[in-house]
């Protein structure tokens, strides 16, 4: 389960990715929060998303590093927190009027393999989480009753986990 925790922690660390890409690195920040064409409310939501990514990353790293009674429960919840930011990125383009890149930056952001770089990153990081969770569950013998009870506590809508 150690490898699984490291991999999920790695993805959790990338919770700072939004801060780096949308605020620090000029070539991408100019397309986001430092874009003068963006209205203040769009920048507000970009800042909100940056902070959400950092928060989810901190929770994820905490869950995989702090000793707990049920490491499997923590691994499952950490998998959820690690992947939530990236899964929301994959679903965001389904909302009307959204795009992976603004029209004025389309030429300067070529899509490798026909996918936007953020799309590729999100798919890759979610796949790391899924693989790591599978490894962790296989190494720990699957989901036991204590783990299932913890999952139901975190996610009451989940009826049965086995």
H or E element, residue 39:
none
End-to-end CA distance of the chain: 18
Residues of the chain with pLDDT under 50: 160-162
pLDDT of residue 19: 95
Structural tokens at position 19: 């801060």
Q: What is the pLDDT of residue 100?
A: 86
Confidence at residue 68, expressed as pLDDT on a 0 to 100 scale: 74
Q: Where are the beta strands (DSSP E) in the chain?
A: none
Structure confidence at residue 161 (pLDDT): 46
- pTM given for the model: 0.76
Of 115, 109, 53, 105, residue with least CA distance to 84: 53
Per-residue pLDDT, 137: 87
pLDDT of 101:
84
What is the DSSP-derived secondary structure letter of residue 24? I
Scan for tokens 């389309």, then name that residue: 106
């Amino acid at each position: 389960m150690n490898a699984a925790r490291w991999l999920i922690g790695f993805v959790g660390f990338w919770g700072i990715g939004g801060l780096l890409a949308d605020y620090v690195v000029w070539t991408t920040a100019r397309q986001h929060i430092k874009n003068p064409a963006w209205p203040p409310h769009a920048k507000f939501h970009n800042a909100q998303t940056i902070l959400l990514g950092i928060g989810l990353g901190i929770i994820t790293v905490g869950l995989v590093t702090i000793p707990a009674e049920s490491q499997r429960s923590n691994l499952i919840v950490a998998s959820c927190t690690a992947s939530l930011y990236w899964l929301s990125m994959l679903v965001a383009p389904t909302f009307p009027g959204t795009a992976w890149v603004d029209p004025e930056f389309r030429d300067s952001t070529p899509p490798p393999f026909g996918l936007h770089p953020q799309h590729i990153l999100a798919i890759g990081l979610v796949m790391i989480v899924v693989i790591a969770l599978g490894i962790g569950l296989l190494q720990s013998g699957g989901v036991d009753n204590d783990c299932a009870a913890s999952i139901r506590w975190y996610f009451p809508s989940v009826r049965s986990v086995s």
